[in-house]
Amino acid sequence: MTDVERLLVAETERDALKQLNEDELLELHQRVRRMRTKYVKNYRRGAGAAVAEVGGRGLSYARNQRNRDKAELFESVLARVSRAVAAAAKSATLELRAERIAAARSARSTAAEAAPKTRVRKSEPATGAVPRAVKTTGGLKKDASTRALGARRQAARDSR
């Protein structure tokens, strides 16, 4: 391996990856992917060219060992960096979600404080009778009128 390749592989060690942020990990991922693609392409081209010379793919296998080994090495390095990128992306997602939830909670609490206090009406009559569900349609007088109208209708049906 060349010095540049050795340095690139050293950048992907576990301790070195922990020190990088998400953007730096993505940049490293791109560099490793380019290096892997280079050696995969060299291996395929060399293997294809050697088939015509030697007479078969099986016979050309041993002639292209160096490119195949480098392609395999950079494939494993790429997998290591990809896992680090995925972990960084997941932690960034969790942080953003926590921030969004906290912002929504604070906005909801400030909206509740800013809203005017409304008067809560009790649905049970003052006589101590059994409370019943009250359907509100607008105001106190209108609700009372609706209940009285319903009571009159029911009385008319009962008298028949």
Convert the pLDDT of each residue in 68-92 to its tens digit. 899 999 999 999 999 999 999 999 9
In a domain, 148, yes or no: no
Buried b (16+ CB within 10 A) or exposed e, 145-154: eeeeeeeeee
Encode pLDDT of 83-142 as tens digits: 999 999 999 999 999 999 998 888 887 766 666 665 555 555 555 555 555 555 566 777
Encode pLDDT of 6-35 as tens digits: 999 999 998 999 999 889 999 999 999 999
Task: Report the C-alpha gap between 128 and 76 in whole angstroms.
Answer: 79
In a domain, 129, yes or no: no
Q: How many domains does the chain have?
A: 1
Among 80, 98, 107, 65, residue whose Cα is nearest residue 17? 80
Chain Cα centroid distance, residue 40: 32
Chain Cα centroid distance, residue 48: 42
In a domain, 62, yes or no: yes
Residue 121 pLDDT:
56
Domain assignment of residue 27, given as a range:
3-114
Quote the pTM value.
Answer: 0.58
In a domain, 92, yes or no: yes
In a domain, 157, yes or no: no
